[in-house]
């Protein structure tokens, strides 16, 4: 009997160890987000050596610098060198692979001796590095890792589903300046989001310097929603943000909302109004009063005045001059005016004359705009008279000013009373073949601090990233929730005040305990 119990004990011990080993192996498979198109995990590891080299071929210099920057938070001593092959890290820029990988796709292969990153364009190499970054311990975001680092061997081939994977900050109602915007850009980059839309003007404020019309920023930059922040971006600050974003393969999309949502401009330049301010209805404020309320869509340019087009051309011309990206957003939502469609057609023509592609909220497609126009769909109710490319920002899935979960305070609920939860975001499917991507806005009439804006964006923006990047065939909500939970400590090390969605089993940073808003900023 004793021998039988002993043997049974050995059996249970072996089974336990096998189970523990299997769990450890499973745990050592990193949680990659967005889910790659093709991924084949191997059974062994690449162990980061004490000394390593990052070699690169022609054109991959910037990517090599990004990779070495990542390795600085490890104990390895790394250096870069030009070359095609080496043990360690090898970056290959291969333009002939563009048909296979496009501009943003990549291959990542990890063997026992070399980590190889291959792409047709620099953007692809950058995204390969972001995938590799997620394979390192989360501490790498903010601390020097002294222990052994093991990267699982793997073969990945990855190409995005959509070319437009966006995020929008409304800086008009409440102002968020360069420091926050740069932090947001860093976080977007990790999850392969590539378009940052800045809503720069509205009834509550004007947030971009226009040198030919200085009162726009001088006066319109002083107002905000009640309890919010005032301020504006100088053109130098805007360019700096743009350069910062471009280095991370993110394009800045500036929006000047018109002909409605325009009170801040009407206050600064009263001559844009009609007689007796008939273009302001209801008169929630009249020039020179500032407006601090939540309601919007009650003001518009006096469309009976031909001279307003000089104003439009001047403003859009300066914004175009300082914008490197291909796009200008003209807003165009929530307005009823018999001359509305005439205005939209003219504004679209002005933008195209500046060498940019026009974007507008979906109402704009009531006018016969150019076929190059991009419509941003937010309510799905507009009867369009043109077929255009579409950015999906439908409010029931992507309006992140709405609650993370039912009952969350200081959130909107007009589109969906229960809020917009992770599953609402993740399970979105576009049925329109003209869809070029997705974008999630945060309107800031009830978002007054950095902490609150973090709370609205994250982790829902991570779901947006997977919706925009991964194919329907590779997506699975349950699996996503599991992978997302593994990113809890990484978000903490990145100093993100994210909302801890209750359906997620968050892997928190046990070393530092509960997340503190005083944690130092990410070094990456």
**pLDDT tens-digit series, residues 349-389:** 999 999 999 999 999 999 999 999 999 999 999 999 999 99
Alpha-carbon span 134 to 522, nearest angstrom: 14
Q: What pLDDT, on the 0 to 100 scale, is given for residue 189?
A: 98
Q: How many CB atoms neighbour CB 289 within 10 A?
A: 12
- The C-alpha atoms of residue 447 and residue 227 are separated, in whole angstroms, by 9
**Residue 56 · residue 82 · CB < 8 Å:** yes
Contacts of 180 (CB under 8 A, 6+ apart): 450, 453
The confidence band for 17, taking pLDDT boundaries of 50, 70 and 90, is very low
The yes-or-no verdict on residue 25 having pLDDT over 80 is: no
Using the predicted structure, report yes or no on whether residue 519 has a pLDDT greater than 70: no
Whether residue 54 has pLDDT greater than 70: yes
Do residues 275 and 349 make contact, with C-beta atoms less than 8 angstroms apart? Answer: no
Residues labelled as active-site residues: 334
State the pLDDT at residue 86.
Answer: 85
How high is the mean pLDDT of the chain?
Answer: 92
Which two tokens mark 499?
């909302």
pLDDT at 84 (0 to 100): 80
Q: Are 460 and 167 contacting, i.e. CB atoms less than 8 angstroms apart? A: no
Average pLDDT value for residue range 453-467: 98
- In terms of Cα–Cα distance, which of 162, 268, 148, 154 is closest to 206? 268
User: Can you give the pLDDT at residue 298?
Assistant: 96
State the pLDDT confidence band at 508, using cuts at 50, 70 and 90: confident
Dist CA 392 CA 166 (whole Å): 10
Does residue 513 have a cis peptide bond before it, meaning omega lies within 30 degrees of 0?
A: no
Answer yes or no: is pLDDT of 415 > 90.
yes
Q: How confident is the model at residue 135 (pLDDT cuts 50, 70, 90)?
A: very high
Q: Give 233's strand partners.
A: 208
pLDDT, residue 28, reads 65
Q: Are 195 and 253 spatial neighbours (Cβ–Cβ below 8 Å)?
A: yes
Q: pLDDT at position 11, please? A: 40
SS3 assignment, position 146: coil
Cis check: omega of the bond before 209, within 30 degrees of 0: no
Is residue 391 very low, low, confident or very high in pLDDT (cuts 50, 70, 90)?
very high
Instruction: Please report which confidence band the pLDDT of residue 496 belongs to, taking 50, 70 and 90 as the band edges.
Output: very high
**Residue 65 binned pLDDT confidence (cut-offs 50, 70, 90):** very high
Average pLDDT (30-44) is 96
Confidence grade of residue 287 (pLDDT, cut at 50, 70, 90): very high
Q: What is the per-residue pLDDT for 485?
A: 97
Query: What pLDDT does residue 206 have?
Result: 98
What percentage of the chain carries pLDDT values higher than 70?
A: 92
Over residues 210-264, the pLDDT tens digits come to 999 999 999 999 999 999 999 999 999 999 999 999 999 999 999 999 999 999 9
pLDDT over 50 at 2, yes or no: no
Number of neighbouring beta carbons within 10 Å of residue 248: 19
Give CA 467 to chain center in angstroms. 12
| Gyration radius of the chain over CA positions | 25
Model confidence at 518: pLDDT above 80: no
User: Cα(first)–Cα(last) distance of the chain, in Å?
Assistant: 61
422 vs 477: CA distance, rounded Å: 9
Q: Which domains does the chain have, with CATH numbers?
A: 28-158 (3.30.379.10), 164-475 (3.20.20.80)
Return d(Cα 301, Cα 360) in angstroms, integer: 17
């Amino acid at each position: 009997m004793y021998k039988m119990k002993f043997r049974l004990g050995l059996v249970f011990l072996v089974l336990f160890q096998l189970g523990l080993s299997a769990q450890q192996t499973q745990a050592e498979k990193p949680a990659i987000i967005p889910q790659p198109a093709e991924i084949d995990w191997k059974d062994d590891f690449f162990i980061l050596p004490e000394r390593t080299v990052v070699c690169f071929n022609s054109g991959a210099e910037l990517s090599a610098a990004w990779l070495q920057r990542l390795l600085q938070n490890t104990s390895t001593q790394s250096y870069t060198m030009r070359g095609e092959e080496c043990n360690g890290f090898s970056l290959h820029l291969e333009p002939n692979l563009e048909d296979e990988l496009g501009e943003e796709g990549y291959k990542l292969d990890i063997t026992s001796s070399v980590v190889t990153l291959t792409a047709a364009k620099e953007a692809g190499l950058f995204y390969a590095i972001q995938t590799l970054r997620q394979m390192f311990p989360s501490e790498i975001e903010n601390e020097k890792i002294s222990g052994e680092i093991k990267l699982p061997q793997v073969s990945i081939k990855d190409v995005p589903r959509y070319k437009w994977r966006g995020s929008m900050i409304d800086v008009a109602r409440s102002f968020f300046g360069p420091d926050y915007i740069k932090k947001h850009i860093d976080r977007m980059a990790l999850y392969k989001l590539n378009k940052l839309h800045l809503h720069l003007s509205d009834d509550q404020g004007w947030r971009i310097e226009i040198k030919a019309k200085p009162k726009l920023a001088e006066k319109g930059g002083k107002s905000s929603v009640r309890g919010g922040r005032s301020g504006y971006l100088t053109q130098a600050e805007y360019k700096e943000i743009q350069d910062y974003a471009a280095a991370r393969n993110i394009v800045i999309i500036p929006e000047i909302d018109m002909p409605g949502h325009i009170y801040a401009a009407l206050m600064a330049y009263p001559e844009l109004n009609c007689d007796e301010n008939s273009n302001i209805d209801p008169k929630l404020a009249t020039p020179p009063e500032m407006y601090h309320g939540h309601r919007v869509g009650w003001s518009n340019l006096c469309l009976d005045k031909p001279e307003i087009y000089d104003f439009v051309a001047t403003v859009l011309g300066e914004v175009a001059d300082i914008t490197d990206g291909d796009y200008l957003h003209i807003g165009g939502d929530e307005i009823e005016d018999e001359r509305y469609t005439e205005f939209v057609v003219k504004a679209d023509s002005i933008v195209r004359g500046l060498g940019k592609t026009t974007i507008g909220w979906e109402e704009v497609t009531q006018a016969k705009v150019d076929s190059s126009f991009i419509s941003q769909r937010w309510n799905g109710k507009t009867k369009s008279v043109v077929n255009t490319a579409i950015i999906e920002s439908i409010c029931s899935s992507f309006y992140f000013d709405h609650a993370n979960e039912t009952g969350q305070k200081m959130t909107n609920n007009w589109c969906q009373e229960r809020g917009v939860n992770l599953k609402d975001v993740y399970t979105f499917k576009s049925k329109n073949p003209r869809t070029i991507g997705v974008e999630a806005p945060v309107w800031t009439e009830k978002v007054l601090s950095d902490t609150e804006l973090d709370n609205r964006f994250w982790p829902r923006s991570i779901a947006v990233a997977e919706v925009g990047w991964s194919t329907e065939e590779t997506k699975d909500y349950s699996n996503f929730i599991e992978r997302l939970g593994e990113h809890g400590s990484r978000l903490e090390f990145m100093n993100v005040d994210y909302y801890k969605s209750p359906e997620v089993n968050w892997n928190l940073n046990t070393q530092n305990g509960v997340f503190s808003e005083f944690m130092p900023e990410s070094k990456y």
